[in-house]
Every structure is written in C-alpha cells, then in structure tokens.
Chains A and B, each alone.
Chain A
C-alpha cells in the first residue's frame, strides 16, 4: 500500500526520447528508476531526453539527485536533458536547488 511504485512510459521520435514518469520519487524508488532510465538512455542514445514529470505526485531531494545524474549522463553522450510539466510542488523543490540554471524546465509537454 505504501510502497513507492512507479512506472515509465517511453516515446521515441528520431533523436528525441520522451519519458513520462508516474508515481513518487524518493530515495527508495530513485534507485531502480535510475537503473531503468540509464538502460534506456544508453540503448537509445538520444540527442534530447525529455522527462515529463506531470504524473509525479511526490518528489523529495532524491529526485534532484536523480535528475542531476541523468543530466550528467546525457552530457556524457553528447545530448541534453529537459524537464517538462512539473507540478507546483515539484517545481518548488527544483527551484530550491536552482536546477533551472542548467536544466531546461518547460511548462508545456
């Protein structure tokens, strides 16, 4: 009941990879989310990865670590990471960490 289940939905178009995340991002879920995302990134090697956070109901600072890590991985493979549609709560924590300074954050899908 309280397990932090999550789900990913993946769409690919040419060099663009869209991943919509569902559920809660905390330290518990971030571990497997990270593994799954990295596997997809390294397989598809997109030039642009867009993480759609519109269906994330909860995120704490573990989510910041997760996003920073994917930002670094995308840079390593010569691509960029963008975040789209975070809710107000998620946006607040992104701003607290100043993530908008190096990751593109967009309100639209």
Chain B
C-alpha cells in the first residue's frame, strides 16, 4: 500500500460517512419538523397519487422551472440529465460483474451515453455560469459559493473527460481500489494526477453536500407547498403543537 492510497482510503470513508450521515440527519430533521398548516400551492392534487405524480413531474422534468425560465430550465435540465447518465456509466466501477444487472450497466449504450454526458454536462454548466454573470438579476443574488460550486462540478466533468480522452488511467486497478473499499480490503490507487484531481473534487463535493445548497435534492420532496394534498375541508390537519395549544384552552371543544 502506498501512502497516497492509504490517505485516499481514509478520505473516501470520511466523505461517505459525512455525505450519507449528513443527508440522513437533514432528512430526519425535515421529517421531524411539523407542517402545522395546509399550504399547498394550488391547483394542487386531491390524492396521494396526485402528489406523487406532481413531484415526479417536478423531479424528472423540472416542470415549475420550465414555466419560470426557459434558459435556466434547458441548461439546468441538460446538466442534471448528464449527471444521471454519468452516474450510470460510473456504476461499472462500483459493482461486481456477478451482479444480475451488470449487463444493464456494462453495455455500449450506457457507456457511450455516459461519455457524451461529460460534454453535455459542461455545456449545461457553462450556460448556468453564463447566466450568473450576464443576467443582472442573477448576478445580484449570486455569492462566491454559487460560482465556485459550478466551477467545482465543471472541474469534475473536465477531469473525467480528460481521463477518457487524454490521460488514461489504470482502470482495472481503480476498480480494485473501489471494490477494496466495499470489502474493507484496501488496495492501491493509481497515482495519476488527473485521476487524483477528479476523485479529490468528487470527495469534496460529497463532503459539502449536506452543508450546502445541494440539499435542494432531498429538500424538494419536503416542500409542503408541493407535497401536501389539497383536502383541508375534508380532512382536519393538525400538528402536535397545534393540538397542544387546543388542549390548553379547550376552545375547540
């Protein structure tokens, strides 16, 4: 084991714990905090199925953003779709060929789409970055972290493309390293600078996820404006603390 590999093994474990622990912590917080009042933005669905459909539409097509701003929508949607495709492509470094869905991952379509996704991701990010600079309103609301976040993900996409097209790495050894992490059997990590840059940036992104605006991903599902059923007249909605107030003065009896 090289010193470098040991360092990265530690970094990986730390990042994974921070990422999943942090997100789980936030999700638990969002679940714990009550929504005392019915506030769905209407027209809103009348059934649970309707709410699932509404959220599905938001998550998959960014429906509200589409209505709000076409430029942000197209760049944002391209970026997120590319992210999904890149994720599928990377699965082959994370799973064993014995797993039943291996053929679903390790095929021409997923792998080549995953390649192109690197480019489209950069296009999407560049568009979002340009909007931040060029539109006076968006420039006004942007802080340093908003620009840096885009640059960080551009760096990840760029370094990923370089590994594919410019500076190949020992992909077999990389997979051995990753699988070693799962099996708690540390292996060496190829010491290519571009690969290390790629991985470092990804780990950094994972660490800042639970303490940054990246929380929009889980948060989307918890917005009462979107996830509540429009049935306040039919079904009484009462929070625990609302009920406590009632119990105190008995005026609702």
Chains A and B come from one and the same complex = no
Q: B residues bordering A, Cβ < 8 Å?
A: none
Residues of A within 8 A of B (CB): none
